[in-house]
Amino acid sequence: MRNTSILSMAVLAALALPAAGFAQTSPAKATVDSAKSAGIVGEQADGFLGLVTSAADPAVKAAVADINAGRAELYAQAGAKNGVTPVAAGAAAFESVVRGKLRPGDYYRPSGGGWVRK
């Protein structure tokens, strides 16, 4: 429990840094935000973005890949700093940061489940 709290704090601190913010570029973020609003992209319990539907065009897929690469780097750093795996860091980020930022209508996929609309 204590490790999870420390890890959550480390991930939150990393997200607060301007350069770290999931290492997303403005165009990638805008593309993903639009795709989230359209129900094409959602958040996953592992801390990464996922495609809700196969209707995503190449630009959306590229933006998702770009943001997920930044998140993977962040989770690896947070995990190494706190002695946990990047997988645990990603899951902690979802629970402590992402879940609270989901808006009504957003899609998310809980661990072991299918897509759910908030």
- The domain ranges of the chain are 2-117
Q: How far apart are CA 105 and CA 118, in angstroms?
A: 5
Helices (H), 1-118: 2-16, 26-37, 58-82, 86-93, 99-101
pTM: 0.81
- Type and span of the H or E element at 50: strand 49-51
64-91 pLDDT, tens per residue? 999 999 999 999 999 999 999 999 999 9
**b/e map of 51-79 (b: 16 or more CB within 10 Å)?**
bbeeebeeebeebbebbbebbbebbebbb
Residue with tokens 């639009």: 34
16-72 pLDDT, tens per residue? 444 444 455 689 999 999 999 999 999 999 999 999 998 899 999 999 999 999 999
